Amino acid sequence: MNKNLIIVFVRTPELGKVKTRLAKSIGDVSALTIYKLLLKHTATVLHDLSFDKVVYYSEKVEENDFWEARLFEKKLQKGADLGERMQHAFETAFEQGYQKVLIIGSDLFDLKSIHITTAFEALENHDLTIGPSLDGGYYLLGMKELYPAVFKNKKWGTDSILGNTLKDLQQQNVKLLEALNDIDTFEDLQQQPELLKKI
């Protein structure tokens, strides 16, 4: 077993249920198209990395999709909110014996494999590593042991997430990665001409 695990959180790609803020500008069908392209991009970035990988689905596990079963273990998210769901995923990973665990989202067209390898390297001499997103959240969280405070008392999906998370970790040695733009709004999408022309 590899001692490093990448957890990917995804929403089941269903019309009207993904990228709802973006959909207000471009419609549900185009928003779903964009989300599927983002999923495919994330799967491609992770494809050749030698770490263990698990995809956690929001609604139901999809058998035949972008995430090849031979490369990605597949599970269902558990918990009332995003914090509980992420904590459960980390707890499961540590119980399985993983020593370094990263969680990433699936809406980053700027994500590259170097961000993943850099995050694991950072955990050699840091307690945690965080990849900030430009909207005040984060696209990556990595740790070697569980820090439950990170997952509690947060207003998920708001611009206060990163700041409040760092407050919880003032006693820990945290490595911040390059800030990236996750795609939630039409303004975010406009930063990605390659995606914009697909709708």
Q: How far is CA 194 from CA 110, 125, 126, 198, in A?
A: 11, 37, 35, 7
Beta-strand runs (E) in the chain = 4-10, 52-57, 73-76, 100-104, 128-132, 138-143, 174-176
| Percent of residues, the chain, with pLDDT higher than 70 | 99
The two structure tokens encoding residue 88: 């459960």
CB burial of 53-67 (b: ≥16 within 10 Å; e: otherwise) equals: bbbbbbeeeeeebbb
Say if residue 102's pLDDT is above 70.
yes
Say if residue 157's pLDDT is above 90.
no
pLDDT confidence band for 64 (50 / 70 / 90): confident
Question: How many other CB atoms are found less than 10 A from the CB of residue 68?
Answer: 11
pLDDT confidence band for 125 (50 / 70 / 90): very high
If you average pLDDT over every residue of the chain, what do you get?
Answer: 94
Question: How many other CB atoms are found less than 10 A from the CB of residue 153?
Answer: 8
pLDDT confidence band for 143 (50 / 70 / 90): very high
Give the predicted TM-score (pTM) of the model.
Answer: 0.95
Select the CATH number that applies to the domain covering 4-196 from these four: 3.10.20.590, 3.20.80.10, 3.90.550.10, 1.20.120.530.
3.90.550.10
φ and ψ at residue 26, rounded to 5 degrees? -120, 0
pLDDT of amino acid 1: 65
The pairing of strands 138-143 and 100-104 is antiparallel
In which residue are the tokens 């914009």 written? 196
The answer to whether the CB of 54 falls within 8 A of the CB of 9 is: no
Say if residue 183's pLDDT is above 70.
yes
pLDDT of amino acid 24: 95
Instruction: Using DSSP, state whether 179 is helix, strand or coil.
Output: coil
Instruction: Using DSSP, state whether 169 is helix, strand or coil.
Output: coil
What's the CA gap between 130 and 154, in Å, rounded? 16
